[in-house]
Amino acid sequence: MCKKSDIRMSIKDLKKNITAEERTRFSEQIRCRIEQLPEFKQAKTILLYHSLPDEVDSSSFLRLWKEDKRLLLPAVKGDNLIIRNYHPEKLKTGRYGIIESQGDRITDLSVIDMIIIPGVAFDKKRNRLGRGKGYYDRFLSEFKGVTVGICYTSCVQYGLPHGYFDRPVDILVTENYIRRTEKKQ
């Protein structure tokens, strides 16, 4: 199995081949697939993210969902993520160049119905490879709701290195498909 750093470099090279037009089209296809999920339709409060240039573009998600859903954004504080209400007029660039909300802080994670999580890569078992700082890994260890990972199909790998405490996302959405946890009967 490859090292995480090697996979990140490989994916970075792959993403260079995605044109701006493809990125826009793929992001819209992913958004439409998410909107068809029963879990999304039922969700009242969603933790999203403000995308970096190489990630699935979340700008239309934020614009289109802000009236019907309560949207939250993460912010980096020390070694952890804190969660804030999304207000388009209360944004600033935080650590690592990520745009963060300056809205009210949310401390009761039970209000979050769904988290939509970016990843450098995912594998077919829905394991996530992040940027290497572990922010989402630490956060997800406390989260009990639905997790949706999103990425471009070209970033889905056969197998990713993962540890005992790593939690696969419940649903993986790309521009081409939805892969979900088998429902236990």
Place 14 in a pLDDT band, splitting at 50, 70 and 90.
Answer: confident
Q: Is the pLDDT of residue 183 over 70?
A: no
Residue 76 · residue 95 · CB < 8 Å? yes
Q: Which of 58, 69, 64 is nearest to 117 (CA)?
A: 58
Q: What is the tens place of the pLDDT at every residue in 17-43?
A: 999 999 999 999 999 999 999 999 999
Torsion, Cα 25 27 33 37, to 10 degrees, reads -160
Is the pTM higher than 0.85? The answer reads yes
164 falls in which pLDDT band (50, 70, 90)? low
Torsion-angle region of 96 (φ positive above 0: left; ψ -120 to 50: alpha; else: beta): left
Confidence of residue 184 (pLDDT cuts 50, 70, 90): very low
Give the integer Cα–Cα distance in Å for 4 and 13.
14
Residue 95 has pLDDT above 80, yes or no: no
**For 1-12, what is each residue's pLDDT tens digit?**
578 888 888 888
